[in-house]
Structure 1
Amino acid sequence: MMLKTLSFKINRWRLKRNSQRNFLIYCSVVVGLIGGLAAVALKFLVHFMEDVSRNISSHLYYHIAYVFLPAIGIFLTVAYQHIVNRDKIEKGIGKILINIKKNRSNIKFNNLYSHLITSSLTVGFGGSSGLEAPIVCTGAAIGSNLGKFFKLTPYEKTVLLAAGASAGIAAVFNSPIAGVLFSLEILIGEITIPTFIPLLIASATGVVVSKALYSGQLFHLVTEGWVMGALPFYIVLGLFSGWISIYIAKVGGNLEGGIFKKQNRYVRAIAGGVILGLIIMVFPQLFGEGYHYLTAILNGNIHVLKEETLFANLLDNPWVMLLFIAVLVFMKIIAAGITIGSGGNGGTFAPTMFTGAFLGLLVAYGVNQTGLIHLNTSNFIAVGMAGALAGVLHAPLTAIFLIAEITGGYVLFIPLMIVSAISYIISRYYAPHNMYWSHLIHENNIHPGQDYSMLNSFTLDSIINRKFTPVDKSTTVADFYKILAKTDTNIFPVLKEDGQLEGVVLIDDIRRRLFNREIADSTIADIMVAPPMLIDYDQPASSVMDTFDAIDVWQLPVVKHDIFIGFISKSALLSKYREVIIEQHRASDLFV
């Protein structure tokens, strides 16, 4: 009650004293501040737990701790989600897109903190996934819940949701431009000035907080300029990046869908964790995010790959090292998929960067062994990360600016553009949508695009016509004349006693023979027809519009738990869609 009273007073004050444009900017600062704090807390927790895990492993024979540490982390994550969180956590960027498209950008409050706890447990104990998706989910939850507190419109909540995601990405990587572009390309799907300003403010605020409280840079590197002689090999890297992006999306997506599905969640967690631990024991480079090794090889220390490896002596042979690097390229996404599929919390963002980096290393190191030309290994590692991200996310701008910002590689803009563009084109050719949208389209019938977003910003409840006149199928047509005389509707539901729909009477279809004396003694059962389609009460508005277009009708019955509740018309749907467009344009005009 106190929270509601406070919300009411603040809303009354801000409506009197502030324009909506200024208020949304103030909110974006708050979102950026809290998002930056969340990112700092997550980085600190994970790095602390990783240090503890590595310390434990270093005191055991052959790092045998790697076999059980990931299982412990995933088990604790699953236990928290089940016992404490009651399965209310919404994992993955795909869930954010669902909330934008179907739930008016509303995200449950518990997502403000649950991702910080579960992802730190998963990755801190060695789970081979990334922190980017959890911090994006946390930032999005911050923006969404702040919007709900101030009773903002769905469009404004979407902007704050995206601002929170931008702040999270920017704070993790210290890359404000990439944070903004990520939200624009992945979450919103379009680049406009009205959305750009709040996102930029939140992103910059997140970076300031991160630098002030946690000054550690993710990668310490200033890349060298590129040379024309390396251009053909950048093209080759672009081709490989496109193909590996398809591999990441397919394999990672399938494994993330769940492993050992017939077993209960705790068995899945332990079994998946042990399998992951065995993989990490052979390939310790897959432990956690993998940024420790990635930073070292970016700075030219390829021998770091021999650390903790059971067959370190074999890696002295350059060709064995080349084979080892190739295996890491394919194994990282498998390890990440097992981590998430067995119940851990994390994302494929960091594994994608890891895979792209080692792909770039594979190309440069392999070419250098031939003696044909000497390629700058660090440059190819950096550009490989961008290529993989561009292909997997279908977000080339995010990939280019993220890698340029975190590596200081602005001198590599041309190679970054070439590799990212080639990878994006190849990936887009084989998969029209990125890995997030592919699953949503297949499983939830949700489509990208601004039209679908605006359609799904409202629920069917607001446009269902509940003023109907039910008829019984045993009613005679003669008695139906009396009902018809009292109403101007042209569609009547035929209902059972329990409220289920048996059919409909369409006046337009029977108008010519309705007053024929020959059918006066007939019953409603003789003239009713089955509706061409039933609309479910919880169905997205975009799906309903697709249905109207597919079967070319103007009215359809709506059911809730198999009980008829009313009709929905295409004209009402279009009118509501028009209202949403006008409302969004008014909100956008505030920033112009």
Structure 2
Amino acid sequence: MSSITQIKKHFVFIKYQKLIIAAMIIGFLSAFLAISLKRGTEHYEELLFDQASKNNLFLFIFPLIGLTIIAVLRYYLFNKKTNKGIKEIFETTEKRKNSLPIYKIPSHFINGLFTVIFGGSTGIEVSTVVASATIGSITQEKENILNRHKVELICAGVASGITALFFSPFAGFLFAYEVISKKASKTFILVTTISVSISILICLLLNEKPLFHVTIKEWHWKAFPYFILLGIISGMNAVYLTKTVLFIKDKFTSFKKSRTKIIISAVLISIGLFILPQLYGDGYHAIKENLANSNNIVLTIPIFFSIVSIVIFKPIITSLTLAGGGDGGVFAPSIFIGGFVGLLLAVVLNTFFNTNVIPLNFMIIGMGAMLSASIHAPFTAIFITCGLINDYSLLFPILVTCLVAKQVSKTIYPFTVYSFSNNKI
């Protein structure tokens, strides 16, 4: 009996030893992939957007180029398979025998890069998540002893990728829990903690910086009712984003030829970018500009209609990007829309009600609220938002606003883009 017990203990020891090694490898590779994609996208998006700003003709050419390259690569290099985003992860985790094929790593990396740098109005977050999940999926296939822990190792990859993108290990851990796993076993906690630790270490070694550089000076309790209002408005906007994406993608399924989808979506995206250049790519360039000047913005009729147009048309251009074959999801669009919703609410309150709220704070809190409502993951959204600025001064108002936004969104419409796809398509 004692020998059997010793064998079992030895087996458990070997298993956890391999899990730890696997988590370290996954953490390193996923973080490196995420940082490479992030830096490459930032660099080339800035270059191409600068060219488009100098010559508007490029706004009509770039979307067509980007979507065409993606279609050609899909046909000749990636097994003629379309990328389905996070749905691919759900399909894998729900079926024990399924795994994410290795080509999903270059497919999402390259397609995510080309989508954004050529003006596709989405972001690289979902591309990073699926590519990182694939690293975890492949790792578990290498050792029979790890086969029972596929979900946990996929979550380790996802957590590491999100950590590297948003400079927040809490965001990575919570996203893997709230969105992918939805349960926290001992193995999940072990491998995910190791992978995010490796990821944040690599971020520090490579001197990764927060996406937005701002200084939060203070926030006031008197603004608390307005934070609640921001949460309600964000929740409603998240439903609009979700339904727009689902509606337009559904309508595009009636087009049998990829060529037709590409041409229609590229033309409509180009028109949108010509009217509102702020919608180019992930839109973070517009967020950075407005964050820097937010506290000095005076509400005028042109500014009002500009921001309202951005909030209305961003979901449409994002949906067209995805329906036309672009790679991405609603992470970056949610952050983008939330920032402008917060800015608009703050300047309206200050102009018409003399509230003296701080627009910068409302922009940042709006980002978190909109993201929370869009993916129904409030705690992930809280730490992503704090990671975006590497400052936790607004933690409490972000917490409250995210919870309100998520509840409003879920009450109006119980699905997200990801959960609806997972259950209905």
Give a deviation string over 1:494-523, Cα, whole Å, max 9, x none.
xxxxxxxxxxxxxxxxxxxxxxxxxxxxxx
1:361 counterpart residue number: 343
- Does structure 1 conserve the Cα–Cα contact (< 8 Å) formed by 2:299 and 2:351? no
Report the CA distance shift for 1:125/1:152 in structure 2 as closer, same or farther (over 3 A): farther
Within 1, Cα distance between the matches of 2:205 and 2:268? 39
The amino acid that maps onto 1:280 is L
- Which residues in structure 2 correspond to 1:170-569 (within 5 Å)? 170-213=163-206, 215-257=208-250, 259=252, 261-301=254-294, 318-370=300-352, 372-443=354-425
Q: Distance in 2 between matches of 1:185 and 1:114?
A: 25
Q: Secondary structure at the match of 2:414?
A: coil
Equivalent position SS for 1:85:
coil
CA distance in 2, matches of 1:203, 1:377: 33
- Paired residue for 2:27? 32
Matches of 1:95 and 1:442 in 2, distance apart?
14
What residue in structure 1 maps to residue 5 of structure 2?
Answer: none
User: Larger Rg: 1 or 2?
Assistant: 1
> 125, 129, 136: which is aligned to 2:129?
136
Q: Give the residue type in structure 2 aligned to 1:299.
A: A
The aligned residue for residue 75 of structure 1 is: 68
Preserved CA contact (<8 Å) 2:295 2:359: no
> How many Å apart are 1:16 and its aligned residue?
7.9
CA distance in 2, matches of 1:136, 1:317: 38
Number of equivalences: 416
Q: Where in structure 1 are there 5+ consecutive unaligned residues?
A: 1-14, 305-315, 444-592
Structure 2 Cα separation of the partners of residues 58 and 425 of structure 1: 40
Instruction: Name the one with the larger helix percent.
Output: 2
Distance (whole Å) between structure 1 residues aligned to residue 264 and residue 171 of structure 2: 37
User: Structure 1, residues 152-195: CA drift from partner, whole Å, max 9, x if none?
Assistant: 44441111101101111111111111011001000001234431
Aligned equivalents of 1:412, 1:105: Cα separation in 2: 42
How far apart are the structure 1 equivalents of 2:222 and 2:241? 30
2:204 and 2:259 mapped to 1: Cα distance? 39
For 1:32, give the aligned amino acid: G
Deviations 1:544-592 (A, max 9, x none): xxxxxxxxxxxxxxxxxxxxxxxxxxxxxxxxxxxxxxxxxxxxxxxxx
TM superposition outliers: structure 1 runs of 4+ over 6 Å: none
In structure 2, distance between residues paired with 1:215 and 1:270: 38
| 1:389–1:399 contact (8 Å) kept in structure 2 | yes
1:278/1:175 CA distance change after superposition, 3 Å: same
CA shift digits 1:393-428 (9 cap, x unpaired):
111110111112222342212211221111111112
Is the contact made by 1:322 and 1:365 (CA closer than 8 Å) also made in structure 2? no
The amino acid of 1:114's aligned partner reads S
Q: Is the 8 A contact 2:245 2:417 kept in 1?
A: no
For the residues of structure 1 that align with 2:115 and 2:39, how far apart are their CA atoms? 14
Report how far residue 317 of structure 1 moved: 6.5
**Contact 2:156–2:192 (8 Å) recurs in 1:** yes
* Displacement of 1:131: 0.4
Could you say which residue in structure 2 is the equivalent of 1:475?
Answer: none
Counterpart-to-counterpart distance in 2, 1:59 and 1:437: 41
The residue identity in structure 2 corresponding to 1:327 is: S
Q: Distance in 1 between matches of 2:148 and 2:340?
A: 40
Aligned counterpart, 2:41: 46
Summarize the Cα distance change of 1:96–1:374 in structure 2 as closer, same or farther, 3 Å threshold: same
Structure with more of its chain in strand, by fraction: 1
Q: Could you list the runs of 5+ residues in structure 2 that have no partner in the other structure?
A: 1-9
Residue identity matched to 1:172: L
The residue identity in structure 2 corresponding to 1:418 is V
**Cα distance 1:203–1:70, how it changes in 2: closer, same or farther (>3 A)?**
same
Matches of 1:213 and 1:230, distance apart in 2: 38
Distance 2:46 2:398 in 1: 33
The residue type equivalent to 1:170 in the other structure is: T
| Deviation (angstroms), 1:73 | 0.4
Distance 1:369 1:255, change over 3 A: same
Question: 1:361 offset after TM fit, Å?
Answer: 0.8
Over the residues paired in the alignment, what is the CA RMSD in angstroms?
2.1
Equivalent-residue separation in structure 2 for 1:356 and 1:126 (angstroms) = 20
Whichever residue aligns with residue 91 of structure 1, its letter is K
C-alpha distance 145-376 of structure 1, shift in aligned 2 (>3 A): same
Give the distance between the partners of 1:197 and 1:356, measured in 2 at CA. Answer: 34
Percent pairwise identity: 27
Q: Specify the code of the residue in structure 2 equivalent to 1:111.
A: K
Query: Which structure would you say has the larger RCO, counting Cα contacts within 8 Å and 6 or more residues apart?
Result: 2
- CA deviation map 1:1-48 (0-9, x unaligned): xxxxxxxxxxxxxx8895211221111110010011111221232123
CA contact (8 A) 1:105 1:161 kept: no
Q: 2:86 aligns with which of 93, 114, 132?
A: 93
Find 1:123's aligned residue among 116, 134, 149: 116
In 2: Cα distance, 1:342 partner to 1:416 partner? 34
Compared CA separation, residues 84 and 190, structure 1 to 2 (3 A): same
The 1:281/1:260 distance shift into structure 2, 3 A limit, reads farther
Q: Give the Cα separation in 1 of the matches to 2:171 and 2:20.
A: 20
- Residues 333-373 of structure 1: per-residue CA shift (max 9 Å, x gap): 11111001011111111001111111111110111222511
Superposition TM-score, scaled by structure 2 size = 0.92
Q: 1:318 to 1:406 in 2, by over 3 A?
A: same
Identify if the C-alpha distance between structure 1 residues 214 and 92 changes in structure 2 by more than 3 Å, giving closer, same or farther.
Answer: farther
1:54-89 deviation digits (Å, cap 9, x = unpaired): 2432442xx221111111101111111112212235
